[in-house]
Structure 1
Amino acid sequence: MKIAIIGAGAIGGLVGAKLALAGEDVTFIVRGANLDAISRNGIKLVSAEGEEQVARNVKATDRYDEAGPQDIVVLAMKAHQVEAVASDVPKLFGPDTVVVTMQNGIPYWYFHKHGGALEGTPVRSVDPSGTVAAKIPAQRVIGCVVYPASELIAPGVVKHIEGDRFPVGELDGSASERVNSVSACFTGAGFKAPVLDNIRAEIWLKLWGNLTFNPISSLSHSTLVDICQYPPSRELAAAMMREAQAVAHKLGIEFRVTLEKRIAGAEKVGKHKTSMLQDVEAGRAPEIDALVGAVVELARLTETPTPHIDTVYSLVKLLARTMEDQRGRVKLHEIAA
């Protein structure tokens, strides 16, 4: 299959490399150092055990029209980065092209084929201008939840840390030919890609932890185990999760694990810095609105009070604005004795 990967970061690089190694026709849509490296050398995948594989049968370009129509387009950048590329994505479309969305958090298409009073409601937190929905129609979308952890360790070089699950699903829950084709393609590359009949429930399950631990860690500069083992922050996380659960329940979502089990799972990860904390330390714009702001928006739509989420959202948004205004980053440094 012809597959375009938009973004060759940690996840896009992992997915594209594995698909190419499985024999798929992969084109990376990339810029800068990644474009130069992949064009010259292909993309290198380093396993958790240190084994290296190089997919040289890949193409790389920064021109969407040069790539041409694809069978599958994988959107592999963060949610707040999608609008900047949305107008170019249609250059990759043929009559039956599907778009696999790999963003964390509530997606722009959430209420498409959702049913009920909120059917068709736009999610302005992740698509303020409506550009993404207009240029990347939800009718083309296959939802996907990303569970693997990986790292871009150099231009064109991705290290796979752990995990292989990419559950996929149609927005209406149907077991269509095209979603089964995407699943088979990913499975052939060595991933676990079950077809789910409720992709939104899986999105909420992952988001349940992300919307709490990411902002708390970025504000406190603490790891997952630190947050879970310090009683005040553990209770704050639990309070935010209870509020999110109330929102989800009003939208017809049931969680298949308990709140305490979800917190315990985060605690077991140990001294891990969340992606939002890593962004704050590196001076990158943190992924706030898809993870937290969209939940606040859905809370208002469902008339659900979320005082703890609202407070944390306000604080982390202020942190992001301060970093942007001062062109700075925030990182703790050990004080010499």
Structure 2
Amino acid sequence: MRICVVGAGAIGGLMAVKLALAGNAVTVVDQGAHLAAIQKQGLKLIWEDGSALTADLRAVASAAEVGKQDLVILAVKAHFLDQIARDIDGLLDDGTMIVTVQNGMPWWYFHNFGGALDGRRLDTLDPTGLLARHIPGDRIVGCVVYPAAAVTGPGVIHHVEGDRFPVGELDGSESARVQRLHDLLVEAGFRSRVLDDIRSEIWLKAWGNLSFNPISALTHATLEDICRFAQTRALAATMMAEAQAIGEKLGVTFRHTIEKRIAGAESVGRHKTSMLQDVEAGRSLETEALIGSILEMGRLTDTPAPAIEAVYACVMLLNKTMTAEQAGVKLVGAA
């Protein structure tokens, strides 16, 4: 299968290596030193057990260089999607699937949603409608990312834990294409299943993202540390309860309790969330996809979320300060 992975970072790189080694024609789109390293020596994946895999795959700097594909995986962070949306048409052939693997809520959430909110644009994620105009909603297949990974150097991805990528059509149907996607992921060595309610699975993952990511960004604590410190564990639970009230008004079914979701995060161990990694590296934060979009849904459903609002305000200011200073924030040893 012809596959383009736009963004060969932690998750995109993980998927690209495994899909390429399964025999697919994979092209990655990336920039800078990471791109140069991939072009020179391939993309290396170090699995959690220490085993190393390297895929010698095509790597380019722009989607405009890629050509027609059977599958396009959008693996850049949500706030960078507008930068590649205008070039995506050149990747699309008859039947091309688009899979989004961003953290948090997707901009397409209300596409094929049904009911009064069907087709509603989320202003926090697509304020001008650019994404909806350039990325055809009917080509999108939903996907939820459970693995944790990190870029540990140019051309090197380190897998931390997890291998699940559940998928589903936005209208809940069991189509031939979603089954093809499922089979593709399984053949690459991942676990997957086809869901008839992909949005409920998105909320299950977002439950953790909206709480653990910003708390870690503000405190520089790992998942294990957050869950084992009584006050931050309670704050995460409060934020999750507020989000659950919003989700349930949108018809979401939560198949786990809040305590089980927190226990799952704790079991990951001393892992730095993606937002904390971005804070340390001085990169812009995924505030809208992880938090702002859920607050927007709260406004749409008349559901108050004061704890989420407070944490969102602090993370927004952190992001503003980092941007103004063009700097990251990292703990250093005391003298």
Q: What's the TM-score bracket when you normalise by the shorter of the two chains?
A: over 0.9
1:323 aligns with 2:322: yes
**In percent, how many aligned pairs have the same letter?**
55
Structure 2: how far apart are the matches of 1:137 and 1:332?
43
Distance in 2 between the 1:54 and 1:277 partners? Answer: 27
- Residue identity opposite 1:120 in structure 2: G
Which deviates the most, 35-44 or 145-154? Answer: 35-44
Shift of 1:267: 2.4
Residue 96 (structure 1) shift? 1.1
Q: CA-to-partner distance for each residue in 1:86-109, whole Å, 9 max, x for gaps?
A: 101111011211101001111010
Deviates more, 1:117-126 or 1:231-240: 231-240
Q: Are positions 1:30 and 2:30 aligned together? A: yes
Q: Could you tell me which amino acid in structure 1 is paired with residue 152 of structure 2?
A: I
Matched with 1:270 is 269
Tell me, in whole angstroms, the C-alpha distance in 1 between the residues paired with 2:232 and 2:156: 36
Q: Which runs of 5+ in 1 are unaligned?
A: none
Per the alignment, residue 8 of structure 1 pairs with 8
Q: Could you state the TM-score of these two structures normalised by the residue count of structure 1?
A: 0.96
Name the CA distance, whole Å, in 2 between partners of 1:335 and 1:5. 41
Match of 2:122 in 1: 123
**SS state at 2:152 partner:** strand
| SS of aligned partner of 2:215 | helix
Q: Which amino acid aligns with 2:155?
A: G
How far is 1:232 from its partner? Answer: 2.3
Does the aligned pair in 1 maintain the 2:223–2:271 contact within 8 Å?
Answer: yes
* Closer/same/farther in 2, CA of residues 266 and 161 from structure 1, 3 Å limit: closer
**Kindly tell me: are residues 335 and 182 of structure 1, through their superposed partners in 2, closer, same or farther at Cα, counting changes over 3 Å?**
same
The runs of at least 4 consecutive aligned structure 1 residues that moved more than 4 Å come to none
Structure-2 residue corresponding to 1:300: 299
* Equivalent position of 2:312 in the other structure: 313
Q: Which residue of 2 aligns with 1:157?
A: 156
Point out where structure 2 has 5 or more consecutive residues left out of the alignment.
none
Q: State the Cα RMSD in Å.
A: 1.4
* Structure 2 residue aligned with 1:175: 174
Deviation at 1:48, TM superposition (A): 2.1
Of stretches 169-178 and 39-48 in structure 1, the one that deviates more from structure 2 is: 39-48
Q: Is the 8 A contact 2:6 2:63 kept in 1?
A: no
Between Structure 1 and Structure 2, how many residues are aligned? 335
Per-residue CA deviation, residues 265-297 of structure 1 (Å, 9 max, x unaligned), is 222333332221221122111111100000000
Give the AA of the match of 1:33.
A
CA shift at 1:142, angstroms? 0.5
Secondary structure class of the residue paired with 1:126:
coil
1:152 counterpart SS class: strand
